[in-house]
Amino acid sequence: MSVEVRTDDPDRRFAPGSAIATDPASTGPLVVESRRWHSGILLVRFEGVGDRDRAEALRGTMLVIDSADIPPSEDPDEFYDHQLIGLAVVTPDGERVGEVSDVLHHGQDLLVVRRGRKEVYVPFVKALVPVIDLERGILVVDGPEGLLDPDAAV
C-alpha cells in the first residue's frame, strides 16, 4: 500500500520489522513486512494485510510515533509541530491572545492560532514570531495590526 511520508527518516521509520502505532489505535499497531520506493512513492507491505479489502480498510489511517522517539533538533530555530501545538500565543507585551492549534506546511509554513471559536493564520517566520519559549509554553507574535484579528482582512 502507498504511504504519504511525513518523516525526515522514512528508511528508519519503515524498516522491516518496525511496529508502527496508528490513529485510530484500533487499526494497529502495524508491523512493516517490506517496503520499497516506486516513482517517489513509498510502498509498504504490512504483516497481516494480504489483500485489497484489508488494505482499503486502512485507508486514511494515520501512522504515528511517540514523540519521545524523535531526536532533538540540532538547529535551535527548528521545531517539530508537536512542540508548537498547544503553545500560548502572546503579544510582545505579554497579553495572551490565543493558542497554536495546528501547523500547516504549504509554500509558507503557517501557524493556526485559535482565538476563541475562530482561527487566524500566522506566517511562521522569525520576523513575525521572534520568540518561542518551549519551557514557558509561549510563542510571541509581533505582527502588523490586524494580523491576530479573526474579523480583519489583512
User: Domain range spanning residue 11?
Assistant: 2-69
Q: How many domains does the chain have?
A: 2
Dihedral pair phi/psi, residue 56, rounded to 5°: -60, -35
Question: Are 110 and 131 part of one and the same domain?
Answer: yes
pLDDT in tens, 68-85: 777 777 777 888 888 899
Is the pLDDT score of 154 beyond 60? no
**Three cell numbers written together for 12:** 528508519
Of 69, 95, 112, the position where a domain reaches its end is 69
How many of the other CB atoms lie within 10 Å of CB of 32? 19
Question: Are 33 and 88 part of one and the same domain?
Answer: no
Question: Are 92 and 136 part of one and the same domain?
Answer: yes
- Contact, 75 vs 126, CB < 8 A? no
pLDDT band for 26, please (50, 70, 90 cuts).
Answer: confident
Is the pLDDT score of 150 beyond 60? yes
Indicate the pTM of the whole model: 0.65
83: three-class secondary structure by DSSP: helix
Instruction: Tell me how far apart the alpha carbons of residues 33 and 18 are, in angstroms, rounded to a whole number.
Output: 8
Task: With CA atoms as reference, report the closest residue to 49 among 61, 32, 25, 65.
Answer: 32
Of 26, 49, 69, the position where a domain reaches its end is 69
Residue whose cell numbers read 494480504? 50
Task: With CA atoms as reference, report the closest residue to 122 among 93, 90, 84, 148.
Answer: 148
DSSP designation for 74? S
CATH number for the domain harbouring residue 107: 2.30.30.240
Residue 100 lies in a domain: yes
Residue 98 lies in a domain: yes
Mean pLDDT (the chain) is 89
**Three cell numbers written together for 150:** 479573526
